[in-house]
Amino acid sequence: MVQSTLIHGRYRLLDLVGRGGMGEVWRARDESLGRRVAVKCLKPLARREDAGFLRVLRERFRREARVAASLQHRGVTVVHDFGEDDGLLYLVMELLEGRNLSQLLADNKGQPLPLAEVLDVAEQVAAALAYTHAQGVVHRDLKPANVMRSEDGAVKICDFGIARLAHDIGFTARISGSGTAMGTPHYMSPEQIADSAVDHRSDLYSFGCVLYEIATGSPPFEGADPWAVLVGHRDTPPVPPCVHRPDLPPPLATAILRLLAKAPDERPGAAAGLAGELAAARAQLPGAWTGAWGTTAFPGTPVAPAAVGGIAPLWMPPWTHGMHAGLPAGGARPAGTPPDGAPVGAG
């Protein structure tokens, strides 16, 4: 897409906001209503010659767009419109002025966010997930880049339906149709890595990864080798976040570790179940808490050896082949790691 393109005779593209594996996000003007909006243009897969594929793609796009548009919560980005224009699928959303969590971490040079801000994000995202999960909607790709903090302090989750659409049309949230890796494994649940069925508890695990990173400055599992990250999610207990940040209130550390349980049944049953721990953590903010939380692994997370020499264990599903570890949200990269080369922006 190029600047000044008019979508469906109504949405004038003004400037590119971000680019990701599924397409581009533009700041645009709704010529009919005279307001600024965000337009997500999905890659023009309509160039494919398979008429059956195109029919399925359009139907599934409409289905996911309707689901996204049905979500009405202060913590979820509003979808105003969707459609197809000359083979281009597009979503029209509210334009959010602010920074996503990935950008906030980068602005902070990879250092953790202030505790009050961490708790504010945690409470708002938990409320949004409690709502969407109650509607039967699972995000599937929760990560710092998909959580926006507006200038007024509101926190909103973006891109509901996009990961599901990618999966349904044969991409998955990680791999493009050409087999090229998309995204990063830093926020994937063990069941996603195993290519198993996922439900709302997968979102909770990804939420735990996001909270761990904004609270400590690093994701729970790192490594230049993607297998080290994947095997970490599957087998290795995360280092308790208080080891990285001793002033973290114990209730918040407990909540994060509960979210990061390997087995879905050991995670909270719902995002709303975190309310007590988050409230207790907030009550401890006025007085600085000191002392280590300890290094005991969270119960029920057995330790298994990591892949040797960077070779993937045989159990890894085919879609993981060629995956690069990617960058954590803060942008830190182990010394000697080559550039990822993946597009930057909204996924």
130-168: per-residue pLDDT in tens? 999 999 999 999 999 999 999 999 999 998 877 676 665
Looking up tokens 């040797």 gives 308
Tokens of 141: 């790709």
pLDDT-based confidence at residue 92 (cuts at 50, 70, 90):
very high
| Predicted TM-score (pTM) above 0.85 | no
The answer to whether the beta carbons of residues 258 and 267 sit under 8 Å apart is yes
CA atoms within 13 A on the CB side of 91: 29
**What is the residue-wise DSSP string for 128-195?**
HHHHHHHTT---S---GGGEEEETTS-EEE--TTHHHHHHHTT-TTTB-TTS-B-S-GGG--HHHHTT
50 assigned to active site: no
pLDDT-based confidence at residue 179 (cuts at 50, 70, 90):
very low
Q: Higher confidence at residue 274 or residue 301? A: 274
Q: How many whole angstroms separate alpha carbon 314 and alpha carbon 207?
A: 28
Say if residue 107's pLDDT is above 50. Answer: yes
Q: 120, 141, 159, 203: which is the annotated catalytic residue?
A: 141
Distances (CA, A) of 66 to 33, 118, 160: 21, 32, 11
DSSP at 32: T
Q: What is the mean pLDDT of the chain?
A: 80
Q: What integer pLDDT is reported at residue 18 of this predicted model? A: 86
Reported as a single tens digit per residue, the pLDDT across 41-89 is: 987 554 555 677 778 888 888 988 999 999 999 999 999 999 999 888 9
Going from the N-terminus, what domains does the chain have, and what CATH number goes with each?
8-94 (3.30.200.20), 98-320 (1.10.510.10)
Find the helix packing angle between 115-134 and 275-283, rounded to 10°: 160
Sign of CA pseudo-dihedral 112, 115, 116, 118: positive
pLDDT-based confidence at residue 185 (cuts at 50, 70, 90):
confident
CB neighbours of 50 closer than 8 A, spacing ≥ 6?
none
